[in-house]
Amino acid sequence: MFAFNKRLGGLLVGLVMGFPAVWAQEGSVIDEVIAVVGDNPILRSDVEFQFQQAMMQGANFQGDLKCHIFEQLLLQNLLLEQAKLDSIEVSENMVISQVDRQINEFINRAGSREKLEEWLNKPLHQIKMEQRTIVRNQMLTQQMQGQITDGVKVTPAEIRAFYRRTPEDSLPMVNPQFEIQQITVFPRIEVDETERVKGRLREFQRQVAEGRDFATLAVLYSEDPGSAARGGELGFMSRAELVPEFAQVAFNMQEPGRVSKIVESEFGFHIIQLVERQGDRVNVRHILMRPKASAEAVEAARQRADSIAGLVREEEMSFEEAALRFSADKDTRINGGLMINPYDQSTKFEIPQIQPAINRQIESMEVGEVSDAFMMKDERLGKDYFSVVRLKSKTEAHRANLRDDYQLLQLILENQKREETFEKWIVGKQRDTYISISPNWINCSFEYDGWRK
């Protein structure tokens, strides 16, 4: 919540020489300014609020967590000062969307809205307001830090020199890596099954029109596991956060409580109820139902996937051609079925990054071998399908080298140079910025010494 990059606003108060406290009527201190960076004060409540959030999320930090949060806020305010000078801005819609997601996560962790308010000792509207400031500042500082290190590039000559000067035992070990191609085949959905699902949704429309609660129906029948428990409610979202077919209907609804026509998307069929609209963001409930493939259609899909594998094995076509012609996976079909690692956008996977069902196939395969069809589940869409995979390449465990791991070495060197560039910027900015820290916090163990002046 509070860290940016590897480490790592509010009121204009002018030049604050002391550290005033805010007093309750009874005379007890309820807040105090514990530091000033440029024109920005840092309050004790800023640290306490983020500390409570970290505890709620199960933070496991070695050392003084409050001091760590405090230094992150000091760093953040250095970056905010520069962002102000550079006129950097962030989208308020993005801020609000991120806050909504975080608040939903907080409520789920706490167990209920009431328990969250009890944990943080403040009403939900105040939590949202404070969280909005935190998220906005985080986005600004991330943009600012990216701008500071944006120009960092490394040349092939620098990468080669970095490799030569690094002792072999200091080079990272690279685990076994695999390149995998995939063809996917989904079972066909019969027209009768589609009509059955639509008829069920039409029945729900009728029940709501007669006075039944939409949220209750969503809890009982919706097949969207992410929203069903909340009565189908999605929370405020922008148009870009929703699939186009769903967004078009949701954003055309005007009257809260009304129920939409049946909407088809890649997830299945929905009916939507408008909860509230705020500018270009909308909060809706929905009930999702997914047509199910028959046993006969599932078996036909398996046979089709196996026949495709047979065509490749018999060299009647290449795997790449088969993927382009037959695969239902729009993300890989034009790339010869080659899977992309979502962790680093490369084509290479380590074993923990491979889906278990695929891993069970490739563990006994030779390079170039094509598997039989096996069943997979698309967790995002909630659909079963059949997959055929080919092991394109396998690299055994080894020390990083230029031939096999050029991109890895490039990434390591670029990150090293970005870190050095950022640290140099921090030192210079500390020197040129007014910074004052309360005596009660000056003895924190800081990563950067320049806070103490």
- Long-range (24+ apart) CB contacts under 8 A made by 191-197 are 193/291, 193/292, 193/293, 193/294, 194/269, 194/291, 196/291, 197/268, 197/269, 197/289, 197/290, 197/291
User: Residues 267-303: pLDDT tens digits?
Assistant: 999 999 999 988 888 999 999 999 999 999 999 999 9
Q: Are 54 and 145 part of one and the same domain?
A: yes
**Which of 372, 399, 426 is the C-terminal boundary of a domain?**
399
Say what the pLDDT of residue 226 is: 81
Confidence of residue 342 (pLDDT cuts 50, 70, 90): confident
Q: Are 66 and 79 part of one and the same domain?
A: yes
Residue 393 has pLDDT above 90, yes or no: yes
Question: Between vectors from CA 379 to CA 198 and to CA 183, what angle results, nearest 5°?
Answer: 100
In a domain, 271, yes or no: yes
Write out the residue range of the structural domain in which residue 79 sits.
21-152+415-451
Q: Are 71 and 213 part of one and the same domain?
A: no
Confidence of residue 26 (pLDDT cuts 50, 70, 90): very low
In a domain, 14, yes or no: no
In a domain, 381, yes or no: yes
Confidence of residue 442 (pLDDT cuts 50, 70, 90): very high
Residue 137's CATH number: 1.10.4030.10
In a domain, 13, yes or no: no
User: Residues 353-365: pLDDT tens digits?
Assistant: 999 999 999 999 9
Question: Do the Cβ atoms of 135 and 95 come closer than 8 Å?
Answer: yes
Q: Are 26 and 144 part of one and the same domain?
A: yes
**Which of 289, 322, 354 is the C-terminal boundary of a domain?**
289
Higher pLDDT, 97 or 406: 406
CA distance 203 to 209: 10
Question: Between vectors from CA 403 to CA 402 and to CA 405, what angle results, nearest 5°?
Answer: 65
In a domain, 4, yes or no: no
Residue 180's CATH number: 3.10.50.40
CB-based burial label for 34 (10 Å; 0-12, 13-18, 19+) = buried
- Domain tally, the chain: 3
Average pLDDT, integer, range 213-240: 91
Q: Are 312 and 202 part of one and the same domain?
A: no
Mean pLDDT rounded to a whole number for the chain: 88
**Which of 258, 289, 320 is the C-terminal boundary of a domain?**
289
Residue 143 has pLDDT above 90, yes or no: yes
Q: Are 179 and 310 part of one and the same domain?
A: yes
In a domain, 265, yes or no: yes
Residue 11 has pLDDT above 60, yes or no: no
Question: Between vectors from CA 112 to CA 220 and to CA 70, what angle results, nearest 5°?
Answer: 140
In a domain, 164, yes or no: no
Average pLDDT, integer, range 428-448: 93
Q: Are 227 and 320 part of one and the same domain?
A: no
Q: Are 299 and 254 part of one and the same domain?
A: no
Q: Are 26 and 87 part of one and the same domain?
A: yes
Report if pTM > 0.75.
no
Higher pLDDT, 372 or 54: 372
In a domain, 218, yes or no: yes
Q: Are 180 and 310 part of one and the same domain?
A: yes
Any idea which of 56-60, 190-194, 333-337, 388-392 has the lowest mean pLDDT? 56-60
Q: Are 261 and 298 part of one and the same domain?
A: no
Confidence of residue 321 (pLDDT cuts 50, 70, 90): very high
| Amino acid present at 352 | P
Say what the pLDDT of residue 30 is: 59
Q: Are 32 and 123 part of one and the same domain?
A: yes
Highest mean pLDDT among 4-8, 89-93, 216-220: 216-220
